[in-house]
């Protein structure tokens, strides 16, 4: 019995020693997890020592919360892949990642390539001197996405000692993902044998021929072209032969400006990396296209994702929704009086004229968007900075709008009882009253111009997509924006009873017109403040004097001196010219005062994106606000959200640097900064922190919860409570 106890004790001690050694080895064969709320990342090794050759198979492992993903080396329509910087590693010579074949994710038409749940990127860790430990040190940058995308940065380190070593618990995991790395065509028994070019008037296609030793079931193709071309590639249209051994995979090319014929040089005789997969099999090959282009009918491949693919259709939907929501944004407050009057004046009217008037207003809205699109196309072709609402940076536009607003107000006040000569009086009267087809058309144009200084949810995404692409996309997206903004007019045109069932106009309407005229006069005052920001206080004062003179001339002087009526056009020309001339010789290059005492409760720092990384490294958070005097939504965000309660306390915190970029005047640096986020309009806000060194962009309309959540996204999960 004693002997048995002795044997058991010895066995227990041996097992304890084995377990202890295994634990040490397992720990030595991996780095610590770098954990975030949605992800965790670490290094793992297949052996616990370098071996005689000083080489060991290792991997970068990601563990992801459900539905969160990281991206392949070529992510598709959005995203970017994990990136490693091995600066600081010791006795390490080889650290090149391999990429398991990715999954394709289709979300509302956007095609991305990546991984969910878990992935390991295998690589070979080679020691320069096999007799010494190999210390792997890396800085990892990656993006993880679900409903939102969050950039993260992590530090990883792992040391593999010299010696023979044994397999670790990670050997199987690394081997599993290494087997998913695309193989040579011979090893996978799957190949792409040719890559041809087809083109129609609207699209370019790359046509790959796939062959297989076993019947194909559900093949897919991922293309990677030269980075400098900036091209993107759609999900393939697949045609499998009857025997199942060959397939034609036709991919639409996008991401170029101009016509397909102007861009064929980007794909002719060009090298491509092609990854073809069919179930668990995947092969990678390199091919050059030939210099022959086969013309095809554009309608043959409607089922493939070409220029009108899912992502483009999604952007059209975003454009429509953005234009529709723009009707509810603070930017439209100046034109609510015009919209309100356009509805109530039809009480008791016949359906036919009502339908015609609202269709004319809708046409004015859409036409204005097309004019803006054409202007942006011209500016882009000339190499100028472009963006949404940039017309409000121009003194001539602001002054012209101020004069139009005051003319409309004078019309509502009844000052046009004295007939102005010719078409000037007729057009002004009809536009101000919203009567006649031409009047309603002008009214729609005017309302659109005043409603475009600010962005809206979906609108910024759609405009960014369009302005980053070509003429066709810009025109189409802006047309859909116009349809969205014009939808209320179109709705009443479709159901005229919405307007005709209102009370008939009477004496009450004359009083209402006077009130609405003062609402437009308030809009003119707002424009004066914008003019002061763009051209200086002198230009604003001269414009104010000129507007007062116009109102006095039309409403008082001409009535006292009817013989002066014929001089009205000349007077209006000279009075309008005075502020225009002054604006362009005024303070256009003077400094902007973005922190006027008594106006802003936040001590804004000057915008300087170059210093943001250093501020973040020093432990600061940076909140960037891109704003402008002409952006009403920007002012609403500040007054109702940022300058109140918890938000004001946060912005004044010593840990937060509030940085403001004033885009009241044209500024190429600010335009370029917005473009890095795919934005071309404002308001725009971004938060920078230790886990968001590239910035976390916020939606256009802010709430305290949105801002706090933005700050939470920039820190590890365990620190998020500081922003509750």
Identify the pLDDT of residue 337: 60
- Where in 255-353 does DSSP place strands (E)? 271-278, 281-288, 293-295
405 compared with 265, residue with greater pLDDT: 265
CA dihedral 602, 608, 612, 613 (to 10 degrees): -170
Q: Are residues 233 and 263 in the same domain?
A: yes
| Burial grade of 68 (CB within 10 A; 0-12, 13-18, 19 or more) | buried
DSSP H or E segment with residue 205: strand 204-212
Domain limits for position 136: 23-178
For position 114, which CATH number holds?
Answer: 2.60.40
Domain termination site, one of 129, 152, 178: 178
Q: Are residues 619 and 536 in the same domain?
A: no
Identify the pLDDT of residue 133: 93
- Residue 9 located in a structural domain: no
Q: Are residues 229 and 153 in the same domain?
A: no
pLDDT (tens digit per residue) in 253-266: 887 777 788 888 88
pLDDT (tens digit per residue) in 231-250: 888 888 888 988 889 999 99
CA separation for the pair 641, 645 (Å, rounded): 8
How many helices (H) and strands (E) the chain has is answered by: 22, 25
Per residue, the 3-state secondary structure of 337-372, as one string, reads HHHHHHHHCCCCCCHHHHHHHHHHHHHHHHHHHHHH
Q: Are residues 211 and 350 in the same domain?
A: no
Domain termination site, one of 555, 584, 613: 584
132 compared with 105, residue with greater pLDDT: 132
For position 657, which CATH number holds?
Answer: 3.40.30.10
For position 287, which CATH number holds?
Answer: 2.60.40.10
- CB distance 322 to 460 below 8 Å: yes
- Average pLDDT of the segment spanning 26-41: 83
Confidence of residue 409 (pLDDT cuts 50, 70, 90): confident
- Residue 663 located in a structural domain: yes
Name 405's Cβ contacts closer than 8 Å, sequence gap at least 6: 334, 450, 520, 521, 523, 524, 527
User: Residue 274: left (phi > 0), alpha (psi -120 to 50), or beta?
Assistant: beta
Identify the pLDDT of residue 342: 61
- CB distance 575 to 546 below 8 Å: yes
Domain termination site, one of 140, 156, 178: 178
- Residue 8 located in a structural domain: no
Q: Are residues 137 and 241 in the same domain?
A: no
Identify the pLDDT of residue 673: 85
Quick check: pTM over 0.95? no
Instruction: Choose the weakest-confidence range: 262-276, 280-294, 351-365, 495-509.
Output: 495-509
445 compared with 190, residue with greater pLDDT: 190
């Amino acid at each position: 019995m004693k002997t048995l106890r002795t044997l058991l004790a010895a066995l227990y001690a041996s097992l304890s020693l084995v377990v202890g050694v295994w634990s040490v080895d397992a720990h030595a064969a991996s780095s610590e997890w770098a954990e975030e709320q949605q992800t965790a990342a670490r290094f793992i090794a297949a052996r616990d020592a370098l071996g005689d050759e000083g080489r060991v198979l290792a991997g970068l492992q990601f563990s992801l919360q459900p539905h969160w993903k990281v991206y392949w080396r070529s992510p598709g329509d959005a995203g970017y892949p994990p990136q490693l910087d091995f600066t600081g590693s010791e006795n390490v010579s080889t650290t090149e990642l391999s990429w398991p074949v990715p999954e394709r994710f289709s979300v509302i038409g956007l095609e991305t390539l990546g991984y969910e749940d878990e992935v390991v990127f295998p690589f070979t860790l080679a020691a320069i001197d096999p007799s010494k430990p190999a210390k792997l040190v890396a800085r990892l940058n990656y993006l993880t996405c679900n409903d939102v995308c969050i950039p993260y940065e992590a530090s990883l380190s792992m040391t593999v000692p010299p010696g023979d070593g044994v397999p670790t618990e990670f050997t199987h995991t690394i081997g599993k993902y290494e087997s998913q790395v695309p193989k040579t065509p011979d090893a996978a028994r799957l190949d792409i044998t040719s890559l041809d070019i087809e083109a129609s008037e609207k699209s370019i296609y790359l046509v790959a021929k796939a062959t297989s030793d076993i019947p194909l079931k559900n093949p897919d193709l991922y293309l990677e072209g030269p980075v400098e071309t900036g091209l993107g590639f759609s999900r393939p249209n697949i045609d499998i032969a009857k025997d199942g051994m060959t397939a034609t995979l036709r991919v639409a090319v996008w991401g170029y400006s101009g016509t397909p014929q102007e861009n064929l040089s980007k794909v002719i005789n060009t090298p491509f990396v092609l990854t073809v997969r069919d179930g668990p099999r995947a092969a990678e090959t390199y091919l050059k296209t030939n210099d022959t282009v086969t013309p095809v009918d554009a309608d043959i491949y409607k089922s493939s994702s070409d220029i009108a693919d899912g992502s483009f259709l999604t952007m059209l939907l975003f454009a429509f929704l953005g234009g529709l929501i723009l009707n509810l944004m603070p930017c439209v407050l100046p034109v609510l009086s015009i919209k309100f009057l356009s509805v109530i004046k039809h009480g008791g009217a016949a359906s036919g004229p009502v339908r015609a008037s609202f269709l004319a207003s809708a046409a004015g809205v859409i036409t204005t968007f097309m004019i803006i699109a054409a202007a942006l196309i011209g500016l882009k072709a000339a190499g100028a900075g472009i963006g949404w609402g940039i017309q409000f940076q121009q003194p001539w536009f602001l002054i012209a709008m101020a004069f139009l607003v005051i003319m409309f107000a004078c019309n509502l006040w009844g000052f046009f009882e004295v007939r102005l000569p010719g078409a000037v009086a007729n057009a002004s009267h009809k536009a101000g009253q919203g009567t006649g087809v031409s009047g309603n058309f002008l009214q729609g144009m005017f309302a659109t111009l005043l409603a475009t200084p600010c962005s809206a949810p979906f609108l910024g995404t759609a405009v960014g997509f369009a302005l980053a692409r070509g003429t066709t996309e810009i025109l189409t997206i802006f047309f859909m924006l116009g349809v969205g903004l014009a939808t209320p007019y179109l709705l009443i045109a479709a159901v005229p009873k919405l307007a005709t069932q209102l009370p008939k106009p009477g004496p009450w309407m004359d009083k209402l017109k006077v009130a609405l005229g003062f609402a437009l006069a308030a809009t003119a005052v707002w424009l004066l403040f914008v003019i002061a920001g763009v051209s200086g206080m002198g230009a604003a004062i001269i414009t104010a004097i000129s507007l007062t003179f116009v109102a006095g001339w039309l409403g008082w002087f001409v009535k006292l001196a009817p013989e002066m009526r014929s001089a009205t056009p000349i007077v209006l020309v000279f009075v309008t010219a005075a502020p225009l001339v002054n604006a362009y010789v005024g303070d256009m290059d003077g400094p902007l005062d973005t922190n006027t005492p008594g106006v802003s409760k936040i001590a804004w720092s000057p915008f300087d994106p170059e210093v943001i990384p250093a501020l973040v490294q020093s432990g600061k958070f940076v909140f960037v606000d891109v704003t402008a005097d002409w952006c009403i939504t920007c002012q609403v965000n500040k007054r109702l959200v940022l300058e109140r309660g918890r938000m004001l306390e946060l912005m004044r915190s010593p840990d937060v640097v509030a940085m403001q970029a004033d885009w009241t005047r044209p500024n190429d640096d600010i335009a370029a900064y917005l473009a890095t986020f795919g934005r071309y309009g404002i308001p725009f806000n971004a938060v920078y922190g230790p886990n968001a060194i590239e910035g976390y962009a916020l939606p256009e309309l802010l709430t305290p919860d949105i801002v706090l959540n933005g700050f939470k996204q920039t820190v590890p999960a365990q620190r998020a409570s500081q922003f509750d």
